[in-house]
Amino acid sequence: MMTRPALLAWAAAAIVALAYPFVVDPYWLTVGILALFYALVTASWTLLVGYAGQFSFGHMGFVALGAYASALLARYASLPIPLAALAAIALCLVVGAAIGGICLRMRGPYLAIFTLAFAEVLRIVITTENEVTGGSGGFQAATLFHGRSDIPYYMVALGLLAFTLAALGWMIVSRWGLFFRAIRENERAAAASGVRVVRFRVLAFAISSGFAGLAGAFYAHYIGMLTPDIGSVDQMGLVVAMAVIGGSESLTAAVLGALAVEALVEALRAYGQWRLVLFGALLLLTMRFARNGLLALAWEQVRRLPGLRRPRGTAEPAR
């Protein structure tokens, strides 16, 4: 099903990803782990926005919900971390389904505003209830490993990303993915063709929120110090920039966008605030001139190279 260049690219990516932690210094290892975290968040946002066409600006709110729920459960209920993380993911699934359910009549900007408001309310509650959450001073979360090296975190993050990509990728090529896209393009036409619009809209929201919760739980038990900023609009802006710059209508492009942007964030650290200006500008330029994303654009160029050209007569691969 995959074309030869795509298979080659995946194999190369796997080798690079596995070798990465053993060749870089601890600083860039941390960057790598954060990049994998953002890739996870961006991939789950892309499922909801790029494939299911439901505009949510509340995704970092779900990441924060997963992170705080897992950290709080580990502290106050003394749950082991994996169990706390599972409970947090379940909570995000349920809340995601609830939000998806009550927002069934909303679309486009209404849904975007509603989810933005949800995330902001959550952030304000976390900041205000500082007796439980530590407020803006931060919350000390239990960490997953206690060794001196961060390589185990990297491997866990890589495993989670691989699992997420496999699960979401399978979903996208399955009938569910077809239903998601049908609803995105035209809800009435999809309903008329027998797609259960209500079920699949709620499902897309719940699944995407569940993966956001997974990312959040990992983040909490890796970073060790949670602040409400993780659910802020600026963090959401970064994720949106990652997805759009990579290509918000393809899972792999969005993930590569996240990795590239996070690497740039660190490489350009000396430029401070200018980085966010740069990503804002890149986001605007990408939207204006290359709506499928810069990586999708680059991929098109790569596929045109001689030697990688598809044999004549084969169909365009489904994305």
Q: Angle at which helices 233-246 and 251-267 pack, to 10 degrees? A: 120
Among 120, 150, 187, 229, binds other proteins (CB under 8 A): 120
The answer to whether 14 and 212 are in contact (CB under 8 A) is: no
Q: Scanning residues 252 to 291, which ones bind other proteins (CB under 8 A)?
A: 273-274, 276-277, 279-281, 283-284, 287-288, 291
Q: How far is the CB of 120 from other proteins (least distance, A)?
A: 6
In the chain, the largest separation of any two C-alpha atoms, in whole Å, equals 66
Work out whether 317 is an interface residue with other proteins (CB under 8 A).
no
Burial 95-112 (b: 16+ CB within 10 A, else e): bbbebbeebeeeeeeebb
From the centroid of its chain, how far is CA 177?
Answer: 17
> Taking the C-alpha atoms of 216, 52, 119 and 113 in order, what is their torsion angle to the nearest 10 degrees?
160
Backbone angles phi, psi at 272, to 5 degrees: 50, -125
Stretch of 83-91, 199-207, 239-247, 299-307 lying at the interface with other proteins (CB under 8 A):
239-247
Q: Tell me the sheet residues that pair with 226.
A: 139
- Cα 182 to Cα 176: distance, rounded to the nearest angstrom: 10
Q: How far is the CB of 97 from other proteins (least distance, A)?
A: 16
Q: Is the dihedral of CA 285, 287, 288, 290 positive or negative?
A: positive
Q: CB-wise, 162 or 281, nearer to other proteins?
A: 281
Work out whether 101 is an interface residue with other proteins (CB under 8 A).
no
- Cα 197 to Cα 54: distance, rounded to the nearest angstrom: 12
Work out whether 237 is an interface residue with other proteins (CB under 8 A).
yes
Q: CB-wise, 288 or 304, nearer to other proteins?
A: 288
Q: How far is the CB of 236 from other proteins (least distance, A)?
A: 9
Work out whether 51 is an interface residue with other proteins (CB under 8 A).
no
Reading the block at residue 268, the tokens are 């350009």
Q: CB-wise, 70 or 208, nearer to other proteins?
A: 208
Q: How far is the CB of 275 from other proteins (least distance, A)?
A: 8
Work out whether 241 is an interface residue with other proteins (CB under 8 A).
yes
Work out whether 108 is an interface residue with other proteins (CB under 8 A).
yes
Among 25, 27, 105, 312, binds other proteins (CB under 8 A): 105
Work out whether 128 is an interface residue with other proteins (CB under 8 A).
yes
State the number of binding residues for other proteins (CB under 8 A): 40
Helix, strand or coil, per DSSP, at residue 316: coil
Backbone angles phi, psi at 226, to 5 degrees: -95, 135
Work out whether 234 is an interface residue with other proteins (CB under 8 A).
yes
- Cα 124 to Cα 128: distance, rounded to the nearest angstrom: 6
**Contact set with other proteins (CB under 8 A):** 53, 55, 57, 102, 105-110, 112-114, 116-118, 120-121, 124-125, 127-128, 233-234, 237, 240-241, 244, 273-274, 276-277, 279-281, 283-284, 287-288, 291
